Amino acid sequence: MPVLVMKFGGTSVATLDRIRRVAKRVGVEVAKGYDVIVIVSAMSGKTNELVGWVNETSPLYDAREYDAVVSSGENVTAGLMALTLQEMDVPARSWQGWQVPVLTTSAHSSARIEDIPTDNINAKFAEGMRVAVVAGFQGVSAEGRITTLGRGGSDTTAVAFAAAFDAERCDIYTDVDGVYTTDPRVSEKARKLDKIAFEEMLELASLGAKVLQTRSVELAMRYKVKLRVLSSFEEQSDTAGTLVCDEEEIMESKVVAGVAFSRDEAKMTLVSVADRPGIAARIFTALSDAGVNVDMIVQNIAEEGRTDMTWSCPTIEVQRAQKAVEEAKENGTINYHEVIADVDVAKVSVVGIGMRSHTGVAAKMFQVLSAEGINIKVITTSEIKISVLIDRKYMELAVQALHDAFELEKAA
């Protein structure tokens, strides 16, 4: 029988009532003839509560025990979902990660899935079980310890199961009804997309759109898993939500698919560093050793052998970055005049695969921002996106103006 993967996020399983409601949806797919693998998150708020308990008990916690505690939220929902399905006479059972087993690396709290052997679950399907309810977000390491995949990780669990079981589709049920051209809370003209290409979704997810964990999109793209994002709060239909798919499946698309933003960015500059081979390597090695996630990088034109080096990183990493460069200065690895941090910036990006073949997108973006009197601090581009760093107070304005200028409220 064809396999369907259905993933339910925290708000979709937040109460016993909601679990009953989504279980009915699972029942509908079973009645259509699918063997279903249901991936569940913890009830909403649960994982945060568990993380809080760990921090309160042990600030410098043992990461293996963090995973043991934090993975438990999903175990509860998996069992409750299986019980609910059984009450509806749907043959179902729950599986924790180690029982499948979901084999992962031992990088606790950010483990990667290495393999999902299908034998155990397939044997149960062959015996007549119709739904395997799997606890998302968790796995087991080669050392036999419980691991977790990082926050939002059950999306990745779902896509990995869809790939392993060669599922017809992977439906991600959440509290929004799909992927939008931008966040509807920022622009009321935001429009739900029927389809979006993997690469666009990947950019949007990593640029701050929070619907899907970035790694899940990466995985879906690699294994060509058809992903659908849809709401568990609305009526079921075959065309609901947004399909994340191969670009060949999208007949017509606009040059720009969406506008993404991330609020908590900071811009840091090392003023007057020596301009010679090896300096950038030393600066960014020091930052990377300190665990700073550097995003944009700009090096100014050098004058008299000195240059300024600017980068952006998440606001919460500024102190760590500052400490890293100060230490590198003290031990003589790098030399600079001063370090400046601007923590009131935001990143706004336009994304679209159409940019590969259309020119003028950057020019138009910069014109729109200039017409609004918004100063651009840093620019980066890739084949399908253009990002700018601007003052945070203009973020909403920039998003709205760009959404209007690229006419994203209209379908292609």
Which residue from 154, 216, 242, 312 is in contact with ligand ASP, where contact means CB under 6 A?
154
Residue closer to Mg ion (CB basis): 40 or 131: 40
* Per-residue x/- track, 34-53, ligand ASP (CB under 6 A): -------xx----x------
CA–CA gap between residue 402 and residue 251 (Å, rounded)? 24
Question: What are the beta bridge partners of residue 171?
Answer: 6, 228
Burial class (CB in 10 A: 0-12, 13-18, 19+), 215: buried
Is position 97 an interface residue for ligand ASP (rule: CB under 6 A)? no
Is position 153 an interface residue for ligand ASP (rule: CB under 6 A)? yes
* Per-residue x/- track, 9-38, Mg ion (CB under 5 A): x-----------------------------
Task: Find the shortest distance in angstroms from Cβ 124 to ligand ASP.
Answer: 24
Is position 147 an interface residue for ligand ASP (rule: CB under 6 A)? no
Beta-sheet pairing, 258-274 with 338-351: antiparallel
Which residue from 34, 66, 98, 137 is in contact with ligand ASP, where contact means CB under 6 A?
137
CA–CA gap between residue 112 and residue 116 (Å, rounded)? 11
Contact 225, 162 (CB under 8 A): yes
Q: Which residue has the tokens 């990947």?
A: 202
Q: Which residue has the tokens 């308990």?
A: 53
Select from 12-20, 136-144, 145-153, 194-202 the region that touches Mg ion (CB under 5 A). 145-153
Q: What is the DSSP letter of 180?
A: B
Which residue from 27, 136, 139, 152 is in contact with Mg ion, where contact means CB under 5 A?
152
Burial code of 29-59, b = ≥16 C-beta within 10 A, e = fewer?
bbeeebbbbbbbbbbbebbeebbeebeeeee
Select from 147-155, 299-307, 309-317, 393-401 the region that touches ligand ASP (CB under 6 A). 147-155
- Tell me which residue has its CB nearest to Mg ion: 152
* Footprint on this chain of Mg ion (rule: CB under 5 A): 9, 152
* Footprint on this chain of ligand ASP (rule: CB under 6 A): 9-10, 41-42, 47, 73, 136-137, 151-155
